[in-house]
């Protein structure tokens, strides 16, 4: 059915536009709360610039950041959804369109030659869900924060908190703090990385667990602050996702997202 493919592409382009040119309400509220609580004057200037930037970008319909990132599509396919088109190809076409109309930066290069590839860059993860709908969640991920992310196969007796905090200290101002941190604990090498990334799709309004609360408190005591220039606000949120793992393993992944936590979603019925 060509109509549903067209609708899907149209909705994906609109979702990309929303994500790239605005921030979700929960992220704006978290930044505003951070500004109110921040005691460091320089840090306050940084957060004020962030808030002003988002407002200005929104009014002008411009991307918040010139690193328009890699769009990560988390596609939930309903068990009885009737999809008769190539979803990955439709997403590819949508990113290509969005790159022209928003516009987005062409970020794809060959990994070895580093030559610019004239094609869109995207990541797609599928999950089978209940129902007859297709739900697409989008996370836009810049390179600065992705580059500061880390995965380690720890010794089962090792200290997870130590690895998490060391990763944040090593990252300093590079991932554009205040960050949102996704921590994956358990599963397998690849499963753990996905747990950490999946965590970042969540609303910042979600309540912290005790472990998350403790990690957030520790991270914010490090004094790194917005953009690594010092301050009380290094992280806005910590999400920990866990899964069982092999008795001899302890995979831990820290996936860092910048303050410009660009997310959007859409759903499409049968």
Partner 1 sequence: MPPVESAIHAIGDELFSLETPIKISNIKKLHVGDLTFISGVIYTARDKAHAKIRRNRAHLPFNLEGGCIYHSGPIIIQTNEKYRVVAAGPTTSARMNEYVPDVIKLGVRAIIGKGGLSDRAVEVMKGRCIYLAFTGGCGALAQRAIVDVLQIYYPELGETEAVWKLKVKNFGPLIVAIDSNGRSLYKDVENYSHRKLHELLG
Q: What's the rounded Cα separation, in Å, for the pair 153 and 155?
A: 7
**Residue among 16, 260, 262, 57 nearest 140 (CA):** 262
CA distances from 139 to 23, 170, 242 (A): 11, 24, 20
Of 10, 88, 89, 105, the one binding partner 1 by CB under 8 A: 105
Residue 88 tokens, joined: 């990955």
Looking at beta carbons only, is 42 or 88 nearer to partner 1? 42
Looking at beta carbons only, is 74 or 163 nearer to partner 1? 163
Looking at beta carbons only, is 53 or 133 nearer to partner 1? 53
**By the rule CB under 8 A, 230 interacts with partner 1:** yes
**Residue among 55, 63, 60 nearest 16 (CA):** 63
**By the rule CB under 8 A, 83 interacts with partner 1:** no
Of 46, 187, 233, 257, the one binding partner 1 by CB under 8 A: 46
Of 13, 30, 64, 236, the one binding partner 1 by CB under 8 A: 64
Q: Phi and psi of 249, rounded to 5°?
A: -120, 155
Location of structure tokens 């499409």: 268
Q: What's the rounded Cα separation, in Å, for the pair 70 and 56?
A: 23
Of 37, 52, 132, 267, the one binding partner 1 by CB under 8 A: 52
Looking at beta carbons only, is 20 or 241 nearer to partner 1? 20
Of 60, 111, 112, 210, the one binding partner 1 by CB under 8 A: 60
Q: What's the rounded Cα separation, in Å, for the pair 26 and 15?
A: 17
* Region 119-178 residues binding partner 1, contact defined as CB under 8 A: 142, 144, 147, 159, 161-162, 165-166, 169, 172-174, 176
Contact residues for 179 (Cβ-Cβ < 8 A; gap 6+): 145, 168, 171, 234, 235, 236, 256, 257, 258, 259
Q: Which residues bind partner 1 (CB under 8 A)?
A: 42, 45-46, 49-50, 52-54, 56-57, 60, 62-68, 103-107, 114, 116, 142, 144, 147, 159, 161-162, 165-166, 169, 172-174, 176, 218, 221-230, 258-260
């Amino acid at each position: 059915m060509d109509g549903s493919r067209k609708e899907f592409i149209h909705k994906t382009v609109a979702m990309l536009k929303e994500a790239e040119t605005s921030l979700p309400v929960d992220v704006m509220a978290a930044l505003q709360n951070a500004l109110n609580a921040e005691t460091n004057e320089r840090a306050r200037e940084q957060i004020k610039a962030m808030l002003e930037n988002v407002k200005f970008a929104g009014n002008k319909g411009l991307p918040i950041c010139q690193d328009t990132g890699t769009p990560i599509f988390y596609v939930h396919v309903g068990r009885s959804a009737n999809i008769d088109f190539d979803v990955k190809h439709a997403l590819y076409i949508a990113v290509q369109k969005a790159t022209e109309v928003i516009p987005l930066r062409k970020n794809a290069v060959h990994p070895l030659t580093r030559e610019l590839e004239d094609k869109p860059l995207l990541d797609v993860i599928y999950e089978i869900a209940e129902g007859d709908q297709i739900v697409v969640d989008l996370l836009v991920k810049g390179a600065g924060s992705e580059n500061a992310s880390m995965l380690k196969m720890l010794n089962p007796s090792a200290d997870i908190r130590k690895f998490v905090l060391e990763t944040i200290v090593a990252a300093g101002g590079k991932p554009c703090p205040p960050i949102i941190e996704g921590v994956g604990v358990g599963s397998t090498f690849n499963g753990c990385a996905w747990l950490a990334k999946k965590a970042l799709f969540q609303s910042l309004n979600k309540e912290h667990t005790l472990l998350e609360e403790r990690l957030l408190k520790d991270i914010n005591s490090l004094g790194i602050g917005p953009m690594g220039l010092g301050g009380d606000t290094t992280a806005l949120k910590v999400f920990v996702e866990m899964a069982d793992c092999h008795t001899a393993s302890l995979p831990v992944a820290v996936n860092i997202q910048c303050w410009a936590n660009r997310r959007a979603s859409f759903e499409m019925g049968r």
